[in-house]
Amino acid sequence: MEPGPPGGSRPAERGPCLSSPLGADLAASASLLSAAGAEAGRRPLAVAAVLPAGGCGERMGVPTPKQFCPILERPLISYTLQALERVCWIKDIVVAVTGENIEAMNSIIQKYQHTRISVVEAGVTRHRSIFNGLKALVEDQPNSKLCKPEIVIIHDAVRPFVEEDVLLKVVIAAKEHGCSDYDLEFGTECLQLALKYCHTKAKLVEGSPDLWKVTYKRDLYAAESIIKERISQEICVITDVKEGEENVGHLLKEVLKSELPHVKVTSGALCHARGDLQQIILKQCYNFVCVNVMTSDFQETQKLLSVLEESNLSILYPVVVVSVHFFDVKLVPLGQKMENLMSIRGFAKEVRKRNILLCGLLICYPQGEQKLQESLRQAAIIIAALIEERNSGLVGQLLIA
């Protein structure tokens, strides 16, 4: 699978930097670390991160080291890099992997378009890997693009759900307590080592339950479910009729809202407001329901697919597109309508290569108010199933509500 073209770049992330749900105190501290703080006349604190990723994952019970195990077809370590990349005040991220994995690591960085990442060879132990990472940050190499940091965060490659607030607390603690830069850890084990051997004041920073480590196979399952849940929080309904006009696309949107109360349902139209859609894509919506009412067959869906392909939204996560069609059994036999829509199989196969999961959904219409509502409710259940599962085995199928 090649989710993105080598040339394109993925849309900017909903990065928390400064604007995010950090508390006021933390936001103020974050500003000291970022360019914004620097512009106010203060030199921003130079922060880097080192990720030891040389482990073999023996407790996982699978042959692949856990940091390279795929979640939605993307290696776990890429999720961890993504979490650190979103924090704009971390200038450099150094990953230490075993010699045999350096090439694979570089491919991951290229494929998922990670930035600010350097790869070094891991040592025989975790601590030696950290040492190698630190060495790369402080050595005066003539061609090195790395900045010499004042604070280095050591972060496990298998803790993908780290948030900016925790990292910030760690940096603040390091600044205030003068911990040595390579002892700061999210566990107590390293804290005890630091206290025992390093003649330094170490401080344990409270993490959040999200900061758990992927250790066992069950943790991979949990991580996959959490990621699937996170990217299923918003559905964008695209219709080929004008916003505000009463139509069946609008009805479907309302039913989606009431049947899936935990999901944010937004809408857009391609015909007159392509800019809107770009905004939605920029806000990282990974689920689209494309309602073809006015236009025949897949005209609207094809437009949406080409916008999505251009956007590179699907580089990090599989994007689900449900192409919705309506039919009236009194006008066209169901079998004929289904046969007409079979071309979805070809489109689906094509966009699958770009990490877009396309399915069709045929909704019976009209059959009287009550029956239509029942069809739409059924449609909402099917849409929810497709989005929640995000299973590539079902692409190109034409489902019926």
Task: Please identify, among the stretches 33-41, 143-151, 223-231, 245-253, the one whose residues bind a copy of itself according to the rule CB under 8 A.
Answer: 223-231
Which tokens sit at 29? Answer: 């501290």
Contact 256, 101 (CB under 8 A): no
**Residue 391 interacts with a copy of itself (CB under 8 A)?**
yes
Compute the distance between CA of residue 383 and CA of residue 341 in angstroms, rounded to an integer: 18
Runs of H (alpha helix) within 260-400: 274-282, 299-311, 334-340, 344-352, 369-389
Q: How far is the CB of 166 from a copy of itself (least distance, A)?
A: 16
Question: Is position 188 an interface residue for a copy of itself (rule: CB under 8 A)?
Answer: no
CB distance 210 to 83 below 8 Å: no
Does the protein bind a copy of itself through residue 131 (CB under 8 A)? no
Q: Is 261 in the site for a copy of itself (CB under 8 A)?
A: no
Shorter beta-carbon distance to a copy of itself: residue 99 or 335: 335
Note if the bond before 11 is cis, omega within 30 degrees. no
224 contacts a copy of itself (rule: CB under 8 A) = yes
Among 136-144, 217-225, 247-255, 314-322, the segment contacting a copy of itself (CB under 8 A)? 217-225
Q: Is 233 among the residues that bind a copy of itself (CB under 8 A)?
A: no
Directed axis angle between helix 299-311 and helix 344-352, to 10°? 0
Q: Is residue 1 close enough to count as binding a copy of itself by CB under 8 A?
A: no
Contact status: 251 vs a copy of itself (CB under 8 A): no
**Which of the 8 DSSP states describes residue 229?**
H
Stretch that binds a copy of itself, among 77-85, 282-290, 292-300, 392-400 (CB under 8 A): 392-400
* Cα 219 off chain centre by: 18
Residue 38 makes contact with a copy of itself by CB under 8 A: no
Question: Which one among 15, 35, 40, 59 touches a copy of itself, defined by CB under 8 A?
Answer: 59
Please select the residue that binds a copy of itself; options are 110, 125, 192, 225, rule is CB under 8 A.
225
Stretch that binds a copy of itself, among 33-41, 88-96, 129-137, 393-401 (CB under 8 A): 393-401
Structure-token match 């849409």, residue found: 383
Q: Which is nearer to a copy of itself, 278 or 397 (CB)?
A: 397
Residues 54, 95 contacting (CB under 8 angstroms): no
Q: By CB under 8 A, what part of segment 330-369 binds a copy of itself?
A: 333-339, 342, 345
Residue from 38, 88, 226, 271 touching a copy of itself (CB under 8 A): that is 226
337: Cβ contacts below 8 Å, ≥ 6 apart: 325, 327, 362
Cβ within 8 Å of residue 122, ≥6 positions away = 52, 53, 54, 96, 97, 98, 99, 128, 129, 132
Sequence letter at residue 209: P
Instruction: Tell me which residues touch a copy of itself (CB under 8 A).
Output: 59, 209, 212, 216, 218-219, 221-226, 333-339, 342, 345, 381-382, 384-385, 388-389, 391, 393-394, 397-400
